[in-house]
Amino acid sequence: MSKRPAMLVTGGAKRIGAAIARAFAGAGWHVVIHYGKSRAQAEALADELPSAEIVSCELDDWNEGPAMVSALAERLEDWRVLINCAGVFDLDTAQDLDPPTFEAAMRVNAGTPARLGQAFLARARSTTGRRLIHVTDQKLRNPNPDFFSYTMSKHALDATIPMLSMARTDPRDRVYGIAPGAILASHDQTEAETEVSHRMNLLHRKTTPRDVAGAALFLAGGWLASGETIYVDSGQHLLAQDRDVLFLARQ
């Protein structure tokens, strides 16, 4: 078993999750990469990293996630960080909530991450305190009527951050949030459209997965008070955008 401090990132095989995995690996951590259906990508990423393994569970199942955490907690000697990065991002609107979309979003984006966090804080062993980090969204401060169920689910996940922080039994533990802005192509967006939409922020710059990964590494140090959320979006959350930037870029 690796003597490095361990971290788990859900959805770690691709996109922002993979950037987080690479950043922690580069900083000397043992990285546990969770995947759902992306086994090949997870294996390829783990092969790149100096100390890594892969795990899988279905996040839309109420019991698989906590069981995965419990199994890891039994064998990881110094498990310091859990980052809930996986999520679903499907379209419905404030005019037409789609019940299956809502149910999937609330379970995968809010309910399961909360249960993973509860199991982690109850069972993981660490010599320095544990860090539970939820990846939310800048839509917490800058909502619009698009992706209605998704946005509700991220608000629900955000609500768990102060509540889980208040429920801590070890004062060394921390519960945090990272709220990214538009970073990678999403939904049916083309790469060309991202060049427009991802600069719709105060700095007119593209926020990168590395920016989010750097924020996660910072929070892993526990420098901030528990319950804090940091926005990694080049100021997007400070604007008032009446549509998702995916659609604003097409107008």
H helices within the chain, ranges in order?
A: 15-26, 39-48, 64-75, 99-106, 112-123, 148-166, 191-197, 209-220, 245-248
Span 59-64, average pLDDT: 95
CA distance 226 to 161: 8
Tokens read off for 46:
């783990």
User: Binning pLDDT at 50, 70 and 90, where does residue 2 land?
Assistant: low
pTM: 0.96
Q: Which residue ranges make up each domain of the chain? A: 6-248
In one letter, which amino acid is 99? Answer: P
Tokens read off for 136:
């939310």
Span 49-61, average pLDDT: 97
15: Cα within 13 Å, side-chain hemisphere: 16
| 81-85, 187-191, 212-216: segment of lowest average pLDDT | 187-191
Span 71-78, average pLDDT: 97
Long-range contacts of 188-197 (CB under 8 A, 24+ apart): 189/246, 189/249, 193/246, 193/249, 193/250, 196/249, 197/245, 197/246, 197/248, 197/249
Identify the CATH homologous superfamily for domain 6-248: NAD(P)-binding Rossmann-like Domain (3.40.50.720)
DSSP annotation of 236: G
Encode pLDDT of 79-111 as tens digits. Answer: 999 999 999 999 999 999 999 999 999 999 999
- Percent with pLDDT over 70 in the chain: 99
For position 1, what pLDDT does the model report? Answer: 52
- Which residues, other chains included, contact 120 with Cβ-Cβ below 8 Å and sequence gap of 6+? 8, 69, 73, 79, 82, 130, 132
Encode pLDDT of 126-172 as tens digits. Answer: 989 999 999 999 999 999 999 999 999 999 999 999 999 999 999 99
